[in-house]
Amino acid sequence: MADPTLNFVSCPDANGALRMAYWSWGDANAAHTVVCAHGLTRQGRDFDVLAQALVDRAPGPIRVVCPDVVGRGMSDWLADPQGYAIPHYAGHMLALLAELKPQTLDWVGTSMGGLIGIVVCAHAHAVGATVRRLVLNDVGPVLEWESLQRIGTYLGRTMHFDSLQQAADALWTIASSFGPHTPAQWLELSRHMVKADPAGGVNLHYDPAMALPFKAITQETAAQGEVAIWSLYDAITAHTLLVRGADSDLLSPQTAAQMTQRGPMARLMEFAGVGHAPTFVAADQVDAVASFLLA
């Protein structure tokens, strides 16, 4: 597998200059761009397998761009943790699109990255872009409250590990709902989740302060957010594929069914033996997304 190139874009921030990292695969001058946005505690290298597959299978030049959302991976951390929120992330993505200037734009979003994508669909025209095809990976306007509480139990922990393997083992206890992976696959998914500690070992590669606004969410504010996201979802014009782990505790079967019946009337594809959320490492998951985007 080839390595992507690491790039940075300057994003708007009330507390000064802010750099967001993004990993670029394929042809940097291609007219067709696919942006892949990761989940809450993850980073852009989660999409290595999918990105390589898209580059290999595309009938023509393609560029696949995988940002590290601020506070994660190689991107800057925020001075004010209240900025760790979907509207701010979407603003950063619009700054990215303004730099990329895609002629044809597709969006793949896992969990949080899908919510960012829903917002971007509504505002991409401001930077001269339109989302043509949208993949929402195990996320929708309604997020199950019990799942949010589960995520809150580990979000924001400061974790130190003696080795990458120890980190991978610990991350698996949190993320086993991602579904079956070989030890080699999981080690590779974990590799970019950590950074070297000068004192030895490795630390998680994200800002623990992102937990502060997340833990301030109440059932009342979550319900208000659902109304706003449904409104944005109903306005989507992009061809939409909704991917769901059949055992997901975040995206209920009821919400998924609603998403096939309103707005862009998403096509639903479920993967057995997977919860929240599919990683697009398994061949059948990669094939589903690549076939949809490259049709």
Q: What is the pLDDT along the chain (295 residues), one digit of tens a residue?
A: 678 999 999 998 888 889 999 999 999 999 999 999 999 999 999 999 999 999 999 999 999 999 999 999 999 999 999 999 999 999 999 999 999 999 999 999 999 999 999 999 999 999 999 999 999 999 999 999 999 999 999 998 888 999 999 999 999 999 999 999 999 999 999 999 999 999 999 999 999 999 999 999 999 999 999 999 999 999 999 999 999 999 999 999 999 999 999 999 999 999 999 999 999 999 999 999 999 999 9
- Our measurement of the distance from residue 5's CA atom to the centroid of its chain's CA atoms, rounded to an integer in Å, reads 19
pTM of the complete model: 0.97
Residues 6+ apart with CB under 8 A from 259: 136, 140, 141, 233, 242, 266, 268
Give pLDDT, residue 149: 94
Neighbouring C-alpha atoms within 13 Å toward the C-beta of 141: 24
**5-146+219-293: CATH architecture:** 3-Layer(aba) Sandwich (3.40)
Give pLDDT, residue 158: 86
The shares of helix, strand and coil residues in the chain, as percent rounded to the nearest 5, are 40, 20, 35
Give pLDDT, residue 143: 96
Long-range contacts of 214-219 (CB under 8 A, 24+ apart): 214/40, 214/84, 214/151, 214/152, 214/155, 214/156, 215/152, 215/155, 215/156, 217/148, 219/145
Distance between CA atoms of residues 258 and 262, nearest Å: 6
Domain boundaries, the chain: 5-146+219-293
Q: What are phi and psi of 149, to 5 degrees?
A: -65, -40
In this structure, are residues 110 and 139 in contact, taking their beta carbons and an 8 Å threshold? Answer: yes
Residue 279 corresponds to which tokens in the numbers above?
């990683």
Give pLDDT, residue 15: 80
Place of tokens 């998914």: 189
